[in-house]
Amino acid sequence: MGVKTDATTMGCGRLARGATFAVTLALSLMLAACAVGPDYRRPTVQIPAGFKEGVSWQRAQANPAASISSTWWRMYQDDTLDGLVERALKANQSIVAAEAAYRVALATVQSNTAALFPIVTAGASGTRTGIGGNVTQAASGTSSLGRTATPGVFNSVSASLSVNWELDLWGGIRRQIESAKTSAQASDAQLAGVQLSIAASVVLNYFALRQADYDIDSLTRQQNIDSKILEMTRASYREGASSSNDVLVAQDVLDAVIANLQASRIAREQDEHAIAVLTGVPPAAVDIASDPAYTFRAPQLPLALPSQLLERRYDVVSAERLAASANAKIGAAVAAFFPDLTLSTTGGFQSNTFARLFSLPSRFWTLGPDVAATIFDAGVRSAAVTSARASYDEQVATYRNTVLTAFQSVEDSLSSINHLRTQEQSSADILHRNQQLFATVEAQRSIGTSSEEDLLDQQLTLIEAEQSLRDTQSALAQSDVTLIKNLGGGWSADGTNAASTTTSLHVRS
């Protein structure tokens, strides 16, 4: 018994020393290991000092560090609009799909990270085998051919534990993790982009619907007036005071108004249908009450510098992260040129009875490294590196083009807003003068110095001036929304202002 105890102690000690040596060796190699391939640096881009079309807009702002609110649609102070946007952010299927894609990216990060750690497997088995007197050893599973196996019934039970650890000596796994993380960051930015796009689409369609409300009301009033004018022209024709051409012209004017009225009704219905789909429900489930007196608001937006677009534009951030991901893949491809080192150990017990399974004589174990290297692959690895470098160059070019496009879209929005503000003022001045003219003609009509037809004509001109002003105000409000979208819409790469309905990504660099 004493000999068994010493043997057990010595065997366990050797196993422990061997495991300790393996772990120490592995840790030493990993600490000394390096990650091959180029380290990432953000590609350089040309950034202007300011926006060409936003000089007066920038000077009017006092806080360049301010950013747009993540709930920017609330600036328009419309409870109906707030409800529609918030429903869309929860139920829109494009957002659901983007959120699922983001979760897939996170799962890829977890999967790649797991490759850094050992794989531990355990197994247990039990068999009972019967062999007759005429059974050869080949039939019984041994390698000796033609010999008769020992007859009888045999039992076998075993339990084992295996550990395999592929050491990341050259950083190939770490580069894959780096690539997966930056891809996940790009997916996070893309999710924010889908959310911003959906919110902006809801607001734009809502404003278009409200403009259609006014247009329908305005054209209905014009239709009523043109109908009166047509009847008056027909009466004048019967009396010989007007020609048939005058009647035809009056009829054409009325029919044109009726046609425009139908076009406005079509536009409103389709805007309502679009809002329904954006909020994740069938068109029949949404019914927005008409509001011809709706007031368009144009809130003041905080200053944004061109350099801030690199952090606040979801598409710019996504493109830059994809470039970082492509750079990491170069290192992963380069690592394939170096040998792989795997530490493996297996230990367990095997016996013909369960009672003696976990005993010293039933033990078995193996421990040792495995080194493997590819000697010849006909250029497969070289092609992989070339492909990875080309993919990186492609992503860098895409990133730089995305930055240029971002600058262009903001400049376009600022240009539109600048000119629409001037146009709004001119339309307001025209409306004011037509209000004065209408009041003058109305006064003249009351004393009999002006005809009813003159009054109706001036009323039509006044309605058209009102409609022109409302159209401009609607276009200005929609341009504001587009500018908000082009400035990043309350999202930033660090996640502090993210309007995302999902948990922020925790792998940001």
pLDDT in tens, 389-426: 999 999 999 999 999 999 999 999 999 998 999 999 99
Instruction: Decide: 163 and 344 in contact? Cβ < 8 Å.
Output: yes
Sequence-distant (≥ 6) Cβ neighbours of residue 102 within 8 angstroms: 184, 187, 188, 190, 191, 502, 505
Look at residue 302 and tell me whether its pLDDT is greater than 80. Answer: no
Task: Report the distance separating Cα 307 and Cα 296, nearest Å.
Answer: 31
Q: Tell me the pLDDT band of 354, cut-offs 50, 70 and 90.
A: confident
* Whether pLDDT at 267 is above 80: yes
Distance CA 268, CA 205 (A): 9
- Report the CATH number of the 1-32+120-167+343-372 domain: 2.20.200.10
Task: Please tell me the distance from the alpha carbon of residue 32 to that of residue 320, in angstroms, as a whole number.
Answer: 31
199 compared with 14, residue with greater pLDDT: 199
Q: How far apart are CA 483 and CA 6, in angstroms?
A: 81
pLDDT of residue 494: 64
Indicate the angle between helix axes 244-278 and 79-91, nearest 10 degrees.
Answer: 50
Greatest alpha-carbon span in the chain: 138
DSSP state of 136: B
pLDDT, averaged across the chain: 85
Q: Element (H or E) spanning 349, and its range? A: strand 340-351
Report the range of poorest mean pLDDT among 79-83, 303-307, 440-444: 303-307
Q: Tell me the Cα Rg of the chain.
A: 39
pLDDT (average), residues 24-48: 74
What is the pLDDT confidence band of residue 57, given thresholds at 50, 70 and 90? low
Q: In whole angstroms, give the CA distance from residue 80 to residue 86.
A: 10
Specify the higher pLDDT residue, 21 or 482: 482
> Rounded distance, CA 331 to CA 170, Å?
9
Res 93: pLDDT: 93
Provide the pLDDT confidence category of residue 141 given band limits of 50, 70 and 90.
low
Average pLDDT over residues 136-142: 57
Q: Distance (Å, rounded) from C-alpha 477 to C-alpha 483? A: 10
* Confidence (pLDDT) at 504: 33
Q: For 92-171, where are the alpha helices, taking DSSP H only?
A: 93-114, 137-140
User: Residue 281 gets which letter from DSSP?
Assistant: S
pLDDT of residue 506: 32
Q: Tell me the C-alpha distance between 488 and 311, whole Å.
A: 9
Give the residue with greater pLDDT, 65 vs 350.
350
Q: For the segment 224-239, what is each residue's pLDDT rounded down to a tens digit? A: 999 999 999 999 999 8
Strands 340-351 and 152-167, how do they pair?
Answer: antiparallel
First to last CA, the chain: 61
CA atoms within 13 A on the CB side of 95: 24
Let me know: does 56 contact 186? Beta carbons within 8 Å.
Answer: no
Query: Token pair for residue 53?
Result: 């079309």
Residue 458 in this model has a pLDDT that exceeds 50 = yes
pLDDT of residue 258: 96
pLDDT tier at 64, thresholds 50, 70, 90 = low
Whether residue 402 contacts residue 315, with contact meaning beta carbons closer than 8 Å, is answered with: yes
396 and 323 Cβ atoms separated by less than 8 Å = yes
How many other β-carbons are positioned within 10 Å of the β-carbon of residue 129?
11
Share above pLDDT 70 across residues of the chain, in percent, rounded to a whole number: 84
Tell me the pLDDT band of 358, cut-offs 50, 70 and 90.
Answer: confident
Q: Give residue 450's pLDDT.
A: 83
pLDDT above 80: residue 135: no
- For residues 139 and 142, give the distance between their C-alpha atoms in angstroms, rounded to a whole number: 7
Is 67 within 8 Å of 311 (Cβ atoms)? no
Closest CA to 177 of 287, 53, 37, 272: 37
Between CA 384 and CA 390 the distance in angstroms is: 10
